[in-house]
Structure 1
């Protein structure tokens, strides 16, 4: 028994870890949680002692999202607030509910009566699950669910700011705390593209419209009665330093200093200070030493590395075997290390740089072509082409460089395709910085790319190639941007952290590749 969207009616939040671990396979996408003694409490009476109960609800919500991070990493868990704050008669959710889950055993008559009277978004073929059905949750579990110290005051206009990339449980906790403690209106500021450049793997951050829509959707789902403005902000303050109606600012414990700065600016403008409400965020379970201690979007982006980010386009112009991966990326981004690990895993590696060095040799077609186009002045004393002399001609004249590329790249491609054709391995990796510029990706089944921040590439070039910073920047700025590489890539890597973390990315990508290839084989067999 499973469903796309589930509703858990929770009467005992101390049991939440055990409950979530037992039902995570029963729901595939979204799990709503209603804090409610499901069949004995009237929904309209929940808010009788709401103000005095705020600290209790804060603690329970914190505990639920903490346990969700441990047990339901692939589920969109949402704790509903309407039944806590307002006199409502029915639970109403944006997504229709396929499965209703009770954390206690009730008789069927009581269950049917409750479902008919108190839930308005059930699908026609909804299913009901109780702990007795699940079998896994027979015993009480007194696992701690986390705690936040907080007062019972409610405010008129709450505000919160952040990037909100890939909305996760820590975001949901902050947004829920704001909605729980606000009476009239809430405002959420979402950082625009000008503010994300310093973020880890900022190239992988969702676009602004998506992030705004995700925040708005979440808030309107958990508490639709509370008006909310979700706006783009281009600085660290946004509307929080100009709106006189705001009276509460929600921050994490780590960003209290930013909240104090906002109050300093408000004070300088003769605006009343905001009450700063700090929220303790959750630790990341099963974290790698390279990842942040607290749950964060940065860690989620890091965990995308080595996964399939862009669907594979079926290229009927190239044979299905061997399976060809085009590996590219900017200078000093770590392609050689990735190639080495892929070779260890069983791939045949074609190093485009090695091909390029051989393409100039006497006896190769390119040798005479280059002399015809650039003259005999490029020939050295050994009658081989002097790459330094050739470089002096092309790197100061873009037209000459284009002439060189148009001569060399097609000849390199011929050699590369010949190696691909004769490869015995079933996976071939073309390691080429120029893969996209030369349009060799058209001969690949997938494009994999590696990214590092520009400042890291500069540091590596200065250290490895003994260049000064200006020389390093010239080389980096002459190539495509990280965003260009990312736009063409199916799989992305980053070599910014310790080697083992990079190796894990490669192993993850290789395993998923093998699964895709296996699926293709099965599909071909069926056809």
Structure 2
């Protein structure tokens, strides 16, 4: 059984990949990593050469996080700066440590001395694990440093800005550089909701308070002795262009241009320019062609597609079988494609549009009602209701649209529930763009939704439906926002990228759904 929180003590950073591959199954949640050579005094022989150079530590930290990205995807890895800052000799973590892992063999006396003298947050029932399969070759080797004197400097007040959504390895690298190179105070600007609209899958970005708390938790954990000011920012610059005490700015290589812009603004205000330290971010080790080359929040959000984002609430008002998925999404969001793949996987698809077409037909209850409410002009030459003519009326006037909905939706629901009751398949998918507006989610066990950016939806409507951009926008504005769809959904898909990427999302969602259904069956058996 794995431990919740572990501390990995590294004597040889060159072996970190091998070590992480050995320990990643031993810890389930947080893995702290301490470079033993950073601690400032020996502990009964548990000691190696001390590196005092910031560029050297910076290189080691980068190497550790690079290997963590490959070997510890499920873990929250945190490289502690204990000993790299303020000559700390004691490891202090916010989370109690359940297991201490050494990457080489020490005597029991050395281990006991280290645990009692160097760690202040051990649990009562902590475990010790010693790895004896790693090589000590080159463990004492010092890499020649060619860094400039500027690179070795530290600063009084460092600053960084970003979205910091779902704190990941790249964020941790940037924040570690900030803490490592700052002596007194750091300011961290976190973009507010008004600043995220252009981000990929911004609908899935964590709320501002969560992002602030995650950054605070990490930065105060890895280096607790600095003063931290974590603030929301509503523009690209935040306090970096007004605070005269700031003297250093951390940026990624990709955002270096923005750093120079900060200095241009500061110069125009007669403020001293900031030293800009750019960080090379880590490559994504296993990327799909649709994903970014570097580890990023965008890729993290893309990998959430098809997973369970919101817990499933038990609805006792509907039968447990068949299991009903409400599939919804905005116009031109790719819902039909997702529905097709779900049908191939074994789901029974109920197409709400086809149900609607059926109840519009001559002789059906809604036919006469719609003519009474919207006039004879909506009838085509074939005697049937012309949906384009009806659409031209209702999409221009919300009152007319509401009139249509109140007429048609109850009849549609009656037909849908009849099909659900008679289904022989164990999973039924109700494919309905109006699912949320009609409040049909109350008849479903889960809600799944498809999203695409508004610009992409407009493009598709213009090309597919031969609508003008104005007509396309009117249709999009008549429905819920993408954020509303995402907030109501248990599972989200996005069809913006190549078809295979969408298919992978659907397959992932189906597999996880099957696992949930099996768990429910087992739980019910236990209760029998």
Q: TM-score, normalised by structure 1?
A: 0.93
Query: Do the aligned residues in 2 keep the contact of 1:47 with 1:85 (CA within 8 Å)?
Result: no
Q: Could you tell me how far 1:87 is from its partner in structure 2?
A: 3.2
Tell me, what secondary structure is at the counterpart of 1:82? coil
Per-residue CA distance 1:312-334 (angstroms, 9 max, x = gap): 01011111111111110000100
Taking structure 1 as reference, are residues 116 and 458 closer, same or farther at Cα in structure 2, changes over 3 Å only?
A: same
Query: Do the aligned residues in 1 keep the contact of 2:11 with 2:48 (CA within 8 Å)?
Result: no
Using the TM superposition, name which of 477-486 and 414-423 deviates more. Answer: 414-423
Q: Could you tell me how far 1:43 is from its partner in structure 2?
A: 7.4
What CA distance in whole angstroms lies between the structure 2 residues aligned with 1:397 and 1:278?
Answer: 53
Query: Do the aligned residues in 1 keep the contact of 2:43 with 2:114 (CA within 8 Å)?
Result: no
Aligned to 1:233: 233
Query: Do the aligned residues in 1 keep the contact of 2:396 with 2:474 (CA within 8 Å)?
Result: no
Using the TM superposition, name which of 325-334 and 401-410 deviates more. Answer: 401-410
- Residues 63-462 of structure 1 aligned to structure 2 (within 5 Å): 63-132=63-132, 137-139=133-135, 151-371=151-371, 373-374=373-374, 378-380=378-380, 382-388=382-388, 390-391=390-391, 394-462=394-462
* Correspondence 1:520 to 2:512: no
Per-residue CA distance 1:27-82 (angstroms, 9 max, x = gap): 000011111159994379999977x5111111110000000100001111111113
Q: Could you tell me how far 1:395 is from its partner in structure 2?
A: 4.4
Q: Could you tell me how far 1:404 is from its partner in structure 2?
A: 2.1
Using the TM superposition, name which of 207-216 and 21-30 deviates more. Answer: 207-216
What CA distance in whole angstroms lies between the structure 2 residues aligned with 1:67 and 1:166?
Answer: 19
Query: Do the aligned residues in 2 keep the contact of 1:54 with 1:152 (CA within 8 Å)?
Result: yes
Q: Could you tell me how far 1:430 is from its partner in structure 2?
A: 0.8
Query: Do the aligned residues in 1 keep the contact of 2:190 with 2:230 (CA within 8 Å)?
Result: yes
What CA distance in whole angstroms lies between the structure 2 residues aligned with 1:84 and 1:433?
Answer: 56
Q: Could you tell me how far 1:370 is from its partner in structure 2?
A: 3.5
What CA distance in whole angstroms lies between the structure 1 residues aligned with 2:444 and 2:214?
Answer: 35
Q: What runs of 5+ residues in structure 1 fail to find an aligned partner?
A: none
What CA distance in whole angstroms lies between the structure 1 residues aligned with 2:461 and 2:238?
Answer: 38
* Correspondence 1:507 to 2:507: yes
Taking structure 1 as reference, are residues 355 and 260 closer, same or farther at Cα in structure 2, changes over 3 Å only?
A: same
What CA distance in whole angstroms lies between the structure 1 residues aligned with 2:16 and 2:307?
Answer: 31
What CA distance in whole angstroms lies between the structure 1 residues aligned with 2:329 and 2:382?
Answer: 34
Q: What runs of 5+ residues in structure 2 fail to find an aligned partner?
A: none
Q: CA RMSD in A?
A: 2.5
What CA distance in whole angstroms lies between the structure 2 residues aligned with 1:14 and 1:381?
Answer: 79
Q: Could you tell me how far 1:368 is from its partner in structure 2?
A: 3.9
Query: Do the aligned residues in 2 keep the contact of 1:11 with 1:38 (CA within 8 Å)?
Result: no
Using the TM superposition, name which of 59-68 and 397-406 deviates more. Answer: 397-406
Taking structure 1 as reference, are residues 473 and 59 closer, same or farther at Cα in structure 2, changes over 3 Å only?
A: same
Using the TM superposition, name which of 192-201 and 387-396 deviates more. Answer: 387-396
Q: Could you tell me how far 1:197 is from its partner in structure 2?
A: 0.8
What CA distance in whole angstroms lies between the structure 2 residues aligned with 1:239 and 1:219?
Answer: 19
Q: How many residues align?
A: 521
What CA distance in whole angstroms lies between the structure 1 residues aligned with 2:40 and 2:190?
Answer: 41
Q: TM-score, normalised by structure 2?
A: 0.93
Tell me, what secondary structure is at the counterpart of 1:85? coil
Taking structure 1 as reference, are residues 126 and 46 closer, same or farther at Cα in structure 2, changes over 3 Å only?
A: closer
What CA distance in whole angstroms lies between the structure 2 residues aligned with 1:46 and 1:175?
Answer: 27
Taking structure 1 as reference, are residues 199 and 375 closer, same or farther at Cα in structure 2, changes over 3 Å only?
A: closer
What CA distance in whole angstroms lies between the structure 1 residues aligned with 2:89 and 2:41?
Answer: 12
Q: Could you tell me how far 1:374 is from its partner in structure 2?
A: 4.8
Using the TM superposition, name which of 382-391 and 515-524 deviates more. Answer: 382-391
Query: Do the aligned residues in 1 keep the contact of 2:18 with 2:134 (CA within 8 Å)?
Result: no
What CA distance in whole angstroms lies between the structure 1 residues aligned with 2:57 and 2:377?
Answer: 81
What CA distance in whole angstroms lies between the structure 2 residues aligned with 1:91 and 1:194?
Answer: 39
Per-residue CA distance 1:140-188 (angstroms, 9 max, x = gap): 58899x9996621111111111111111111111111111111111111
Query: Do the aligned residues in 2 keep the contact of 1:349 with 1:428 (CA within 8 Å)?
Result: yes
* Correspondence 1:4 to 2:33: no
What CA distance in whole angstroms lies between the structure 1 residues aligned with 2:507 and 2:31?
Answer: 31
Tell me, what secondary structure is at the counterpart of 2:185? strand
Query: Do the aligned residues in 1 keep the contact of 2:252 with 2:281 (CA within 8 Å)?
Result: yes
Taking structure 1 as reference, are residues 142 and 448 closer, same or farther at Cα in structure 2, changes over 3 Å only?
A: farther
